[in-house]
Amino acid sequence: MELNNGRTLTLYDLGRVPLAARTGLVKAVRANGWGLAVAGTSIRYRRRVRAFDRITMRSALVGHDARFLYVHQAMLRDGEPVSSALIRSAVSSRDGIVPPAHVLAAMGAAGWQRPLPDWIVAWTEAEAKRPWPPAI
């Protein structure tokens, strides 16, 4: 009995809720009638998590580009990472994706910007080259 990939992604989903509440994102989304969507995920598994293992999750908003917010998350057991996830998230309205600058202003964090780390920029560039629709 161990934590499989589906359950891991569900826990990461649940782990973003407190982050969204702490940062004011939940309040801004509700006030504006917006929605939240995961627009991409990259996950790395390194250690098994078995039933009843105690884990700690860390979640942080690491930056944004013109369309998406980027959240980096990690699960740790005894202080050692067992997995890590990068989430590209979109805030949406009836008119489409809400620009992150507008979302941040609604959160009371207008002008907040951190340069995206090189590895996230490289991931977004690689994702842009991925064919859509998929040709399988």
What is the per-residue pLDDT across 25-66, written as a single tens digit (0 to 9) for each? 999 999 999 999 999 999 999 999 998 999 999 999 999 999
Whole-number Cα distances in Å, 10 to 5, 26, 52, 74: 9, 18, 17, 13
User: Is 58 a domain residue?
Assistant: yes
pLDDT tens-digit series, residues 90-120: 999 999 999 999 999 999 999 899 999 999 9
Q: Is 135 exposed, middle or buried (0-12, 13-18, 19+ CB in 10 A)?
A: exposed
In this prediction, residue 56 carries a pLDDT of 97
User: Is 136 a domain residue?
Assistant: no
Domain count of the chain? Answer: 1
User: Is 92 a domain residue?
Assistant: yes
User: Is 134 a domain residue?
Assistant: no
Q: How far apart are CA 59 and CA 135, in angstroms?
A: 34
Under a CB-based contact definition with an 8 Å cutoff, are residues 117 and 65 in contact? no
CATH code of the domain containing 62: 3.10.129.10
Question: Which domain, by its residues, includes 12?
Answer: 5-129
| ∠ CA 24-28-32, rounded to 5° | 175
User: Is 135 a domain residue?
Assistant: no
Element (H, E) at 20: helix 5-23
